């Protein structure tokens, strides 16, 4: 483990020989294949234990309910399917949950999440789960979405302003379209009692930051496509990730450097990690910010139980088919 989160640009688009994002089998489909004896690999003890571990987190107390209308006690059908007695929705144990956005088996999920909890980068996590780099990259995107979705600000971050819903449109992981120029979101770093909160600042856009820099002498520093500002209102800094369309050359240099460059323990922690990414995008930026917020606030803790609970949590209802 080298402490980095990632080491290569995102590769969400299809690559030769890989399944298209829309064609990726879900975790539940993989399991159905294996229990039906049609899978490529044997259904091993490791998978059975891993599945039991995930099921325990999906259904606390063993009480099952419909992911669409929340009615309890669904009928059990063949091949592990369940049917809601109220709305007739047919589903599996993992339907509508974050982990089902990826085709990993339960054992692969556990290996990947364990490595990620120990700060593995994508390549290391892929090796730990014995999967390809691209598969691990997609699965870690799912895990980051799941982490973000557990936050108190999830509804806002999964709203239209960040564009994140397009990453899992229709209950499938998608290569997200780029953020439209003029709508790059801005986040604020807020610290309180040694903890940090990274908020979406909905009233601001990248243009606001350029305007403040020009007309109100707001100091700005740059890390690749990332812009970090001096203090703004209650925030230690504003932060955004643009792309080549953002007119960085328009920025003015003001004397001194933003407060966070020396005064924010979170930024000092996050800066070195963000530096290792070569392909950060405006769309994916909140995923990394919220992951780093969680890692910073929970340093020294075992993150695996938290990651697994996040993966097993239900996705927002519109993601159900």
Given the rule CB under 5 A, which residues bind Zn ion? 66, 68-69, 71, 84, 86-87, 89
Q: CB of 24 within 8 A of CB of 176?
A: no
The distance of closest approach from Cβ of residue 186 to Zn ion in the complex, given in angstroms and rounded to an integer, is: 39
How far, in Å, CA of 210 to CA of 271, rounded?
Answer: 21
Nearer to Zn ion, 94 or 232 (CB): 94
Minimum Å distance from CB 29 to Zn ion? Answer: 21
Nearer to Zn ion, 69 or 268 (CB): 69
Cβ at position 319, least distance to Zn ion in Å: 15
Of 89 and 259, the one with the shorter C-beta distance to Zn ion is 89
CB of 80 to Zn ion, least distance (A): 17
Q: Which two tokens stand for residue 262?
A: 């020396």
Q: Which residues contact 214 (CB under 8 A, 6 or more apart)?
A: 250, 252
Residues with Cβ < 8 Å from 153, sequence gap 6 or more?
199, 200
Least distance from C-beta 90 to Zn ion, angstroms? 10
What residues have CB less than 8 Å from 97, skipping those under 6 apart? 58, 67, 311, 312, 313, 314, 315
Residues 6+ apart with CB under 8 A from 90: 77, 81, 82, 83, 84
Nearer to Zn ion, 171 or 181 (CB): 171
Closest CA to 98 of 85, 119, 112: 112
Q: Judged by CB, which is closer to Zn ion: 24, or 95?
A: 95
């Amino acid at each position: 483990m080298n402490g980095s989160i990632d080491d290569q640009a995102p590769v969400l688009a299809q690559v030769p020989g890989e399944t298209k994002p829309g064609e990726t089998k879900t975790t539940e489909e993989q399991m159905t294949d294996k229990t039906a004896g049609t899978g490529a690999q044997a259904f091993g003890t490791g998978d059975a234990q891993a599945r039991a571990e995930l099921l325990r987190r999906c259904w606390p107390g063993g009480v099952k309910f419909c992911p669409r209308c929340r009615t309890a006690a669904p009928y059990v059908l063949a091949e592990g399917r369940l049917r809601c007695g109220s709305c007739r929705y047919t589903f599996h144990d993992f339907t509508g949950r974050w982990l089902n956005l990826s085709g990993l088996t339960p054992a692969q999920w556990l290996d990947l999440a364990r490595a990620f909890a120990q700060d593995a980068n994508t390549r290391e996590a892929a090796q730990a789960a014995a999967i390809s780099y691209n598969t691990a990259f997609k699965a870690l995107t799912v895990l980051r979405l799941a982490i973000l979705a557990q936050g108190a600000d999830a509804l806002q971050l999964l709203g239209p302003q960040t564009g994140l819903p397009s990453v899992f449109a229709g209950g499938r992981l998608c290569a997200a379209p780029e953020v439209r120029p003029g709508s790059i979101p801005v986040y604020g770093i807020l610290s309180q009692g040694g903890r940090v909160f990274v908020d979406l600042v909905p009233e601001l856009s990248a243009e606001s930051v350029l305007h403040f820099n020009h007309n109100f002498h707001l100091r700005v520093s740059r890390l690749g496509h990332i812009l970090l500002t001096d203090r703004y209102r209650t925030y230690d800094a504003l932060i955004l990730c643009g792309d080549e369309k953002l007119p960085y050359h328009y920025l003015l240099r003001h004397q001194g450097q933003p407060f966070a460059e020396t005064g924010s323990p979170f930024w000092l922690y996050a800066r070195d990690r963000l530096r290792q990414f070569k392909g950060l995008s405006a769309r994916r930026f909140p995923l990394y910010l919220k992951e780093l917020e969680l890692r910073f606030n929970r340093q020294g803790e075992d993150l695996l139980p938290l990651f697994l609970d996040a993966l097993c949590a239900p996705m927002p209802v519109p993601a159900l088919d």
